[in-house]
Structure formats: structure tokens, C-alpha cells
Amino acid sequence: MYAFELRSRHAFDTFAERLGVVMGKVDALVDLTGDRLVLQVPKEAVNQVAAGITSVLFREWLYDNLIRRARKSHEHVSRDELEYLSLVYLHEIRTEQTPLGDKTLEQWEEAVREEIASLVRAGTTLSIDGFTRFRLREPVSVLFDRFADRLRRFELDREYEESVAMLRFMLDEQPSIMQEVHVFCGRDRVWLTDEHGQLVRDEQIVQAAIESETDEIDSEDLAMSILITRSPCRIVLHDLHPDASWPSFVETVRRVFAERARMCERCDACERLRGSQPPMGSLEEDFDFPSIDWT
């Protein structure tokens, strides 16, 4: 028989339940006030006890801590969203066998199970918080950092959805004052032409942008303002930079204008423009935009 003590500030009830009630074979003294569990473990139950502790550590404890940390840094993500996102994330880490440092989660679990079994045999006190801080620092920090990245992405996605919804709302208020607009999305800038290939500009919008406080005039913002105010019945998108990072202007126009927007089908203008796109510059300058000859 080994006398063994376990302490944990997190998921303590689950440790107590798993070891004291479910396993039966172990005499357990549960001190709830001190988050302390004193066990009398018969020799033949050591591996089972170690497996029980490890299982709770790599599931409930990990889950609790993931949520606790994320709540501090991501106040705009609700508790329900966090719970859902962490469950999905932990499931993926497990099923896809993602390496966390030099081992997968399963391999870490295997190593920890053996280590805990030897701690039980040594009759020591196991502080889960201290143990994870020193022995599992690497996988736990990799796991938490990647989850933080995922939450940032989740927040960006949501901001994007909100801005698309706002643009759609503004569009609903606008009467159509143009039939067709062609949108050229290059690597450095975006510009618009009418169905005859003539550059579409809007002095008022450009002037408003110049007068606004923002340091940089963004050709995508200007193009979107013009598209919303003119509210064309048809938009043809010419994507000269298909590798643009998310969310690309092409994608946003498609989302906002829905069935009114379509992609060009490899038109001559695109073919010619791919090698010679207008350079970067501020919008008040006159650009030598390549003329578009649709014929």
C-alpha cells in the first residue's frame, strides 16, 4: 500500500471523482477545502490510479485551463463560444496528432502516465499545478499559444462578417445609378471602369478621403465607397492578384453585392494587364491607367 497525495487548483472535483468513486479500489480521503486528495493505493492499483490522474489532467484539467487563460485575453468571445472552440480545438489536436514540441499529445500523455505511476510508488505529494508548470511547460505553452491564434482569427472573422453586413445594409439604402462597373483588383491597387473602359472616379469621395484624418488613402476603401454610392446593377470582377491574402477585395465585393457581382472569364483586358499593372501612388495623382479596349 502506498500513501499518496494529490493537489490541484483546477478540475479538482473531477480528480476526486475519478479516483475516489469510480475506481473503488482506492481508499481516498478528500479534503475539499484544501483541494487535497489523500489516497491509500494498493500495489496492484498503481497503474490504474496513474492512468486515472493522467486522463483527467489531459482532458478536464487542460480544458479548464485553456478556457481560463483565454477568458483573460479575449473578453469579446463569450463563454459559450469559448467552450465550443476549445472542445473543437482539443479534439483536432488529438485526432490530427499535431506535434506539441517533440511529442504528440498522446505521447506526452503516455510519458506522464509512467512518471505519475513512479510518483505514486514513491509516496510523494503530486501538485498538478507545479507538475504541469515544470514537466509540461513546452506542450502546454504551444497548445495555449496556438489556441490564442485561433481565437484572434475567430475575432477577425467576426469583425469581417460585421463589416460585410454593414456594407450590405448601406447598399440597400442606395438607388442604382450605374448599369455596369468593372472592378480591377491588382496587386497594389484597385480601380474601376465603366462598360466602355473609362475610369470611374468620384471627386467628392476622393476629396472626403483626403480631408479625413487617416494617414493613408486606401484604394480599396475608395473603390468600395464608389461602388456603394453608385450601386451598379452589374459588377464584373477582374482578379489580377488571385493570391491576395484574406479577405481579398474580390471576396468582399462578392459578399456585399452577391448576385450582382460576377467574375470575368479570362477577358483580353486581364490578359494584357497581368504584366503591366498601374503602380502604387496616392490617388490625387493622375495615373496612366491602361486603356481598356473591350472590342
For Zn ion, how many residues bind (rule: CB under 5 A)?
4
Q: One symbol per residue from 165 to 204: x for binding Zn ion (CB under 5 A), - otherwise; what is it?
A: ----------------------------------------
Nearer to Zn ion, 148 or 267 (CB): 267
Q: Are 55 and 11 in contact (CB under 8 A)?
A: no
DSSP secondary structure of 71-132: HHH-TTS-HHHHHHHHHHHHHHHHHTT-EETTEEHHHHHHHHHHHHHHHHHTT-EEEHHHHH
Per CB under 5 A, does 38 bind Zn ion? Answer: no
Q: Are 163 and 217 in contact (CB under 8 A)?
A: no
Helices (H), the chain: 12-16, 46-56, 62-73, 79-95, 105-121, 128-135, 137-172, 203-211, 219-230, 249-257, 268-273
Pairing of strands 234-239, 261-263: parallel
Structural Rg of the chain based on CA atoms = 30
Please provide residue 250's backbone torsions phi and psi, each rounded to the nearest 5 degrees: -55, -45
Number of other residues whose CB lies within 10 A of the CB of residue 250: 20
Q: Of the listed pieces 24-32, 139-147, 195-203, 258-266, which binds Zn ion according to CB under 5 A?
A: 258-266
**C-alpha span between 257 and 2 (Å, rounded):** 70
Per CB under 5 A, does 264 bind Zn ion? Answer: yes
Q: How far is the CB of 271 from Zn ion (least distance, A)?
A: 8
Q: How far is the CB of 257 from Zn ion (least distance, A)?
A: 17
Q: How far is the CB of 89 from Zn ion (least distance, A)?
A: 40
Q: Of the listed pieces 122-130, 191-199, 235-243, 249-257, which binds Zn ion according to CB under 5 A?
A: 235-243
Per CB under 5 A, does 267 bind Zn ion? Answer: yes
Q: Of the listed pieces 119-127, 138-146, 251-259, 267-275, which binds Zn ion according to CB under 5 A?
A: 267-275
Task: Find the binder of Zn ion among 238, 241, 254, 260 (CB under 5 A).
Answer: 238
Q: How far is the CB of 184 from Zn ion (least distance, A)?
A: 8
Nearer to Zn ion, 51 or 200 (CB): 200
Per CB under 5 A, does 244 bind Zn ion? Answer: no
Task: Report the Cα 196 to chain-centroid distance in Å.
Answer: 42
Nearer to Zn ion, 77 or 183 (CB): 183
**C-alpha span between 64 and 129 (Å, rounded):** 12
Residue 181 is inside which H or E element, if any?
strand 180-185
Nearer to Zn ion, 170 or 270 (CB): 270
Per CB under 5 A, does 23 bind Zn ion? Answer: no
Please provide residue 185's backbone torsions phi and psi, each rounded to the nearest 5 degrees: -110, 100
Q: Which residue has the cell 450605374?
A: 178
Q: How far is the CB of 260 from Zn ion (least distance, A)?
A: 17
Task: Find the binder of Zn ion among 270, 283, 289, 290 (CB under 5 A).
Answer: 270
Nearer to Zn ion, 244 or 264 (CB): 264
- Residues in contact with Zn ion by CB under 5 A are 238, 264, 267, 270
